[in-house]
Amino acid sequence: MRPNPVLLTVALTAALQAQSPFQPATPPPSPVPVLASYPDTPAGKLLREIKEHSGVVARVEYLADMIGPRLTGSEPLRRAQAWAMAEAKALGAVNVHEEAYDFGLAWTRGTDSARLLTQNGLRFRVDQLAWSPATKGPVQGELLLVDARNLEELQAFKGRLKGRILLRSNPDDKRPPLGRRGGGDMAAFQAEQTAMTQFLIDEGALATLSMSGRKNGLSFTTAGPGRDPKKPALPAAYVPQEPYRMLLRQVARQEPVRLELSLGGAFSAKPVQAHNVVAEIKGTDKANEVVIVGGHLDSWDLGTGATDNATGSAVCLEVLRALQATGLQPRRTLRIILWSGEEQGLLGSRAYVEAHKAELDAIQAVLVHDMGTGMVKGFELQGRENCRGLMAQAIAPLNDLGVRELPLRTMNGTDHAAYDRAGVPAFAAIQESVDYFEGTHHSQMDFPDHVRPDQLIQGAQAMAVTAWELLNMEGRLPHGIVARTPAPPAPAAAKP
Ligand SMILES: [Zn+2]
């Protein structure tokens, strides 16, 4: 019997695709529906105004190109905040101000480099984990794969770590996964992580390298443990997949692989304050009640933070612009908030909730835009079934624009979560993913080139009209803390 050559080719192709870490490019986003006409209603006026005169893409470009990356605690973020306040005032907002909170040490990226001293001598991209300590100038060390997942596994490396640069990711790990981190106990998990880092320091390791979870040369960054100066920390960096896998293959040959590594980030001398920007359009007969529309103005610093989250920040300003241009007066007060510290753990929104505990009852709802450029398809209800009726009413004028989804699902990865946990109806927009989690999110590719104007303009329309309906409806969204079983730790990619 001869194998069928066609079937064999199909099977081979499938097997090769299954082995390749490089998935095909993401499918194109759903097209934005085109409205045949605009109703003669406030919602219709807002839709038309934003479609015909949107300033949202221009503001993303300004933030990204002229101000650039906006790490919390940095001078560029302070410039972005000054700019946003000036824009809000020019767009007719009142009560424009900043609210400060204690942030901790600021951190500035330096020059990062890596060069093999053996094998092929390649120089390749490394990006220091933000808030990790710098190397003491260029350091040279032999690479060692240390794919220990807990303290017990790590202790097996005792005596072999001195002067080594550690490869801490093993994408080819075939071991069955460990149980939930710390048995689901976050404090236990963090204590073990701290003990592991202390062990590496005590054993004399020089630095750690991890593989970027992104494909096709994309790097990644997030916050290292050094945000807390009391915790031990080692110099740490991400390496894109291709060079990282090369290092693994070189190490697998059982010959010494020596690397020169330089990571140049620096901490501020003293703790700094961080700030949230607030701007309002006052309501009329229900002015004491508030609808908050927000996004975070801070960003990571490998790209220019165009889709994370200049897009959401620009959408907030566009909501102000559309109200001013149409002359519409809301019954409740519209409050725009541009948070900071989102990327270090929703610090700005948490600080706001803490500082305004006594006023949370006056908030009708919080709406957040933080998933990049993609069009808005609805809002996560966070388990608030009792909000479904009024939320459905709020998005009804947007149904033909593709805004229809109100799943009960809970999303915790952005600033609405701080309000949600305090009992306030607070919802993140569900957005078309475009190439957010596969591409721009926290990577060096986060530039305005990846902004899709039609998708983002629809997002601004969706946020403006949903806010408008919530500002003006007779009913109030019910408050209350939603009882939830603790969520399993989110995969890294699920956090905007
Ligand atoms: Zn974000």
Is 405 part of any domain? yes
What is the rounded CA–CA span in Å between residue 22 and residue 169?
Answer: 17
Same domain, 228 and 345: no
Cα 235 to the center of its chain, rounded Å: 23
CA 61 to chain centre: 19
One pLDDT digit (tens) per residue for the chain, 496 residues = 444 444 444 444 444 444 444 554 667 889 999 999 999 999 999 999 999 999 999 999 999 999 999 999 999 999 999 999 999 999 999 999 999 999 999 999 999 999 999 999 999 999 999 999 999 999 999 999 999 999 999 999 999 999 999 999 999 999 988 876 666 688 888 899 999 999 999 999 999 999 998 888 999 888 776 788 788 999 999 999 999 999 999 999 999 999 999 999 999 999 999 999 999 999 999 999 999 999 999 999 999 999 999 999 999 999 999 999 999 999 999 999 999 999 999 999 999 999 999 999 999 999 999 999 999 999 999 999 999 999 999 999 999 999 999 999 999 999 999 999 999 999 999 999 888 878 888 889 999 999 999 999 999 999 999 999 999 999 999 999 998 765 554 444 444 4
Q: How far is the CA of 302 from the centre of ligand 1 (A)?
A: 14
Residue 36 lies in a domain: no
Distance 41 CA to ligand 1 centre (A): 33
Domain boundary among 208, 231, 264: 264
Verify that 373 and 238 share a domain, yes or no: no
Residue 31 lies in a domain: no
Q: What is the pTM of this model?
A: 0.90
Final residue belonging to a domain, choices 221, 248, 264 = 264
| CA 247 to ligand 1 centroid distance, Å | 31
Q: Let me know whether 257 and 122 are in one domain.
A: yes
Whether residues 425 and 294 share a domain: the answer is: yes
| pLDDT of res. 13 | 42
Alpha carbon dihedral 327, 336, 441, 275, in 10-degree steps, equals 140
CA of 144 to the centre of ligand 1 (A): 34
Whether residue 216 is preceded by a cis peptide bond, meaning omega within 30 degrees of 0, is no
Distance from the Cα of residue 202 to its chain's centroid: 33
Together in a domain, 164 and 200: yes
According to DSSP, the residues that pair with 431 across neighbouring strands are 376
Cα(300) to ligand 1 centroid in Å equals 9
How many domains does the chain fold into?
A: 2
Which of 225, 245, 264 terminates a domain? The answer is 264
DSSP code, position 405: B
Kindly give the distance from the C-alpha atom of residue 469 to the centroid of ligand 1, in angstroms, as a whole number: 25
416 Cα to the center of ligand 1, angstroms: 11
In a domain, 34, yes or no: no
- Answer yes or no: is 468 within a domain: yes
Scanning 167-261, the segments in alpha helix (DSSP H) are 186-202, 241-252
Compute the distance from residue 460 Cα to the ligand 1 centre, in Å.
Answer: 16
Q: How far, in Å, is the centroid of ligand 1 from the Cα of 67?
A: 17
Examine residue 231 and state whether it is found in any structural domain, yes or no.
yes
- CATH number assigned to the domain comprising residue 155: 3.50.30.30
Same domain, 284 and 236: no
Evaluate whether residue 274 is within a structural domain: yes
CA dist., res. 21 & res. 101, Å (int): 42
Note whether 396 and 404 are within 8 A (CB): no
Are 253 and 159 members of one domain? yes
What pLDDT sits at residue 455? 97
Q: What is the pLDDT of residue 54?
A: 96
Distances (CA, A) of 440 to 76, 382, 433, 493: 20, 26, 11, 11
The verdict on 119 and 198 lying in the same domain is yes
- Between the CA of 372 and the centroid of ligand 1 the distance, in Å, is 8
Same domain, 468 and 427: yes
C-alpha to C-alpha distances, 89 to 309, 322, 333, nearest whole angstrom: 21, 14, 16
Cβ contacts of 120 within 8 Å, gap of 6 or more: none
| Whether residue 286 sits in one domain with residue 219 | no
The CATH code of the domain that includes 87 is 3.40.630.10
Q: How far is CA 437 from CA 47, 182, 223, 415, 442, in A?
A: 28, 26, 17, 18, 9
Tokens of 389: 């009726």
Q: Are 154 and 146 in contact (CB under 8 A)?
A: yes
